[in-house]
Amino acid sequence: MQAVVIEAPTVVRMSDLPEPRPAIAEVVVDVSLTGVCGTDLHMLDGDFATARFPIVPGHEVTGTVVATGAEVTSPQPGDRVVVDPGVPCLTCLLCRRGRPNLCEHRNAVGITLNGGAADRVVVPARNCHVLPDSVTFSAAVLAEPLACVLHAFEMVPRTAGRRVLIYGAGTIGLLAVQVARHLGAYTVDAVDLDTQRLSVAEKLGADEVFAPDSLSRQDDWDLVVDASGAPAAIADGLARLQRGGTFLQLGVAPGDAVVPLSPYQVFARELSIIGSMTTRHTFPGALRMLENDMIDAESIVEKPVPLSDYAKAVDMVRERDSLKVVVSPGV
Ligand SMILES: [Zn+2]
Ligand SMILES: [Zn+2]
């Protein structure tokens, strides 16, 4: 089968790999759509510490089950699924504390295990969530980023009635705008360099949108969400919190990035700084929101790029003039 292989940072090629076979508790998924995101770029550029090489990337995977291991009862061949990429050990202290996303021995499909930028992928059966009939693959490819956003908002004490400011109006930021609305935020505002993205944010429910230089120092927000990973945006956002405010770090910044922080301000204004890493039991909720049309997927997911054109998909993510870039072996 054909697969994209990142041999080492910056070295990518299409390879002919052996057909995957399921072990006893695994299934093989015939890939329909796989999302490409900023995390894949960090891996490609060699600044994502947990990645292993060589690796088939792709952690936002949808498709149809075509083979199951001997002990698998669900999902069944023919089931349409989305894959939760997290493969925790389930025995370390953090797993036993109910925080499998922080597992000390964590593996992840598309990061340390071969992922979905391929014709087919083998994954643990328990990582598959069967899609409701009404959820298309094109919507389901948002389940992983949406599950990340739902986990992030679960980490925050509350959203209802608060003034929310979101940095970055890419896929994660645009999902965060919609989730904050559903959670009863008083206002939801967005910041991005790109006016096109800001107009999508407005369409999806943002009250006010800002270019970074149009924010004034007098503005303050109760909850600032970084969905950009950009150190300059994070530093700016930390300085815009209202007293008692919460800063939520959802975007993936470069591993060696640092930002200035005033400990006095954290003290005197009782600021909270919260991190959120991937997902924690939030796939079922993400699928329910997609099933109930609570999330506008159509405005976010781009037309699929052929898998064989993975380099083009990467360029589209890098150039930032597309929203959710997806590849498909079937186009
Ligand atoms: Zn991703
Ligand atoms: Zn663990």
CATH number at residue 73: 3.90.180.10
- pLDDT for the residue numbered 248: 98
* Residue carrying the six token digits 């919190």: 241
**50 and 151 part of one domain:** no
Residue 97 alpha carbon to ligand 2 centre in Å:
9
Same domain, 64 and 94: yes
Q: How far is the CA of 18 from the centre of ligand 1 (A)?
A: 26
**Count of CB atoms situated within 10 Å of the CB of 298:** 9
Q: Are residues 127 and 156 in the same domain?
A: no
In a domain, 289, yes or no: no
Ligand nearest to the CA of 110: 1
Same domain, yes or no: 239 and 120: no
Q: Is residue 13 part of a domain?
A: yes
Separation of 263 CA from ligand 1 center, angstroms? 32
DSSP for 193-230, please give it: S-HHHHHHHHHTT-SEEE-GGG--TT--EEEEEE-S--
CA of 144 to the centre of ligand 1 (A): 7
Q: How far is the C-alpha of 203 from the C-alpha of 206, rounded, in Å? A: 7
Q: In the chain, how many domains are there?
A: 2
What's residue 17's pLDDT? 97
Cα 257 to Cα 51, 52, 253: the distances in Å are: 18, 21, 7
Taking the CA of 100 as reference, the closest ligand is: 2
Of 257, 275, 293, the last residue of a domain is: 275
pLDDT at site 48: 81
Residues 177 and 211 in one domain: yes
Structure-token pair, residue 136: 């298309």
Q: Are residues 238 and 160 in the same domain?
A: yes
Report how far ligand 1's centroid is from the alpha carbon of 36 (Å): 7
Domain enclosing residue 13, as ranges: 2-141+301-328
- Nearest ligand by distance to the CA of 48: 1
Q: State the pLDDT at residue 244.
A: 95
Written as tens digits, the pLDDT of the chain (331 aa) is 999 999 999 999 999 999 999 999 999 999 999 999 988 998 999 888 788 899 999 999 999 999 999 999 999 999 999 999 999 999 999 999 999 999 999 999 999 999 999 999 999 999 999 999 999 999 999 999 999 999 999 999 999 999 999 999 999 999 999 999 999 999 999 999 999 999 999 999 999 999 999 997 667 899 999 999 999 999 999 999 999 999 999 999 988 899 999 999 999 999 999 999 999 999 999 999 999 999 999 999 999 999 999 999 999 999 988 999 999 998 8
Distance (angstroms) between ligand 1 centre and the Cα of 37 equals 5
The reply to whether 285 falls in a domain is no
Q: Is there a single domain that holds both residue 216 and residue 308?
A: no
